[in-house]
């Protein structure tokens, strides 16, 4: 299998200061996260808000530098390279941001935005019009500013920008997260068409399970910066292992309320919400281990031998 992008043991901690800079709080956005993107196999990343999905996307593109761990593009370690040495990579792996209201420069016309996205030296007007029509926008939109467009239209521009470099992989960070249901369907159709026509591989980040099931082949489930489960769509759908994944499939079945009394323990990240917690969960981190063939989970329920 042809590997495009891989990251290994990525950790990222943000230090959040309060207004006066006196109280510092550490937020672990990513903890020891490893993923692998293979050509033609779309990878879904699922997790609730704040689970570190966007941070993972930014680290994969080296827009945010990880505290530790490495990013590999086609088996070359690119973690330490500066922006100026990453140009080749930038054209091959691109990103669609979560919020189309923030991801377009409010002072650039659409034409200018797209012009920058096309790597060739001489950009002629037809190329820009092609990029627009490819995403279903009329070509006279090129003279508009972002504020003159709807959210869905903006997201189409962001998609046009991402594919303009003719990339092999696109990291889509909740591309429909800020859109209404019908627009969402249209955008997903567009992405699906582009994937087929251009042979793109997607890393599809979302909190909406229905989308990943339709769209992806492998799924990574994240919780508070940790990967708690990874497997094929089939495996995750039919036989979810981790308690959190079960909650995701059936939100009403288990309480989603975090119990405050558990928050000070340095054990499993899911401890506070887990109905199956055991003694060992309070003291140790479960590690991500292969349970079945290519189906990984990090939970002590599946580590029989270790249990006392």
Ligand X SMILES: Nc1ncnc2c1ncn2[C@@H]1O[C@H](COP(=O)(O)OP(=O)(O)OP(=O)(O)O)[C@@H](O)[C@H]1O
- Is-contact 41 9, C-beta < 8 A? no
Long-range contacts of the stretch 299-305 (C-beta < 8 A, 24+): 299/228, 299/241, 299/242, 299/243, 299/268, 299/270, 300/268, 301/241, 301/243, 301/276, 302/241
Query: Counting contacts by CB under 6 A, is residue 252 touching ligand X?
Result: no
Is position 50 an interface residue for ligand X (rule: CB under 6 A)? Answer: yes
Which residues are at the interface with another protein (CB under 8 A)?
58, 61, 63, 83-84, 86-87, 89-91, 94-95, 97-99, 102-108, 112, 116-117, 119, 145, 147, 158, 161, 165
Between CA 280 and CA 286 the distance in angstroms is 9
User: What is the rounded CA–CA span in Å between residue 161 and residue 128?
Assistant: 10
Binding to ligand X by CB under 6 A, coded x per residue (else -) over 204-243, reads ---x------------------------------------
Contact partner at residue 105 from another protein, ligand SF4, Mg ion, none, CB < 5 to 8 Å by partner kind: another protein
Would you say 21 or 106 has its CB closer to another protein? Answer: 106
CB 108: neighbour CB atoms within 10 A?
14
Grouping H, G, I as helix, E, B as strand and the rest as coil, residue 81 is: coil
CA angle 60, 211, 220 (to 5 degrees): 40
Q: Which is nearer to another protein, 69 or 165 (CB)?
A: 165
Q: Closest approach of Cβ 98 to ligand X, in Å?
A: 6
Among positions 31, 32, 54, 201, the unique one binding Mg ion when judged by CB under 5 A? 54
Closest distance to another protein from the beta carbon of 95 (Å): 5
Phi, psi at 238, each rounded to 5°:
-85, -40
Give the binding site for Mg ion (CB under 5 A): 54, 98
Give the binding site for ligand X (CB under 6 A): 14, 16, 27, 29, 47, 49-55, 98, 207
């Amino acid at each position: 299998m042809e590997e495009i992008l891989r990251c290994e043991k990525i950790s990222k901690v943000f230090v959040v200061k309060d207004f006066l800079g006196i109280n510092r709080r550490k937020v672990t956005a990513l903890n020891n996260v490893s993923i692998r993107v293979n050509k033609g196999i779309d990878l879904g990343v699922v997790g609730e808000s704040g689970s570190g999905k966007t941070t993972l996307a930014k680290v994969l593109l080296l827009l945010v530098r990880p505290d530790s761990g490495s990013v590999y593009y086609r088996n070359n370690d690119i973690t330490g390279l500066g922006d100026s040495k990453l140009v080749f990579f930038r054209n091959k792996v691109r990103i669609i941001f979560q919020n189309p209201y923030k991801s377009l420069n409010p002072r650039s016309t659409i034409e200018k935005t797209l012009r920058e996205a096309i790597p060739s030296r001489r950009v002629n007007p037809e190329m820009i019009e092609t990029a627009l029509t490819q995403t279903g926008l009329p070509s006279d939109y090129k003279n508009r500013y972002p504020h003159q467009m709807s959210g869905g239209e903006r997201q189409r521009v962001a998609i046009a920008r991402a594919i303009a470099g003719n990339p092999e992989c696109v990291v889509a960070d909740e591309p429909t997260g800020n859109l209404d249901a019908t627009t969402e369907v249209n955008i997903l159709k567009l992405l699906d068409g582009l994937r087929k026509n251009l042979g793109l591989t997607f890393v599809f980040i979302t909190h909406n399970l229905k989308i990943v099931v339709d769209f992806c082949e492998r799924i990574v489930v994240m919780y508070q910066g940790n990967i708690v489960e990874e497997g094929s769509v089939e495996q995750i759908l039919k036989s979810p292992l981790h308690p959190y994944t079960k909650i995701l499939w059936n939100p009403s079945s288990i309480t989603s309320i975090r119990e405050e009394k558990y928050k000070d323990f340095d054990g499993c990240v899911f401890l506070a919400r887990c109905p199956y917690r055991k003694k060992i969960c309070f003291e140790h981190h479960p590690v991500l281990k292969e349970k079945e063939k290519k189906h990984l989970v990090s939970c002590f329920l599946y580590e029989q031998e270790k249990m006392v």
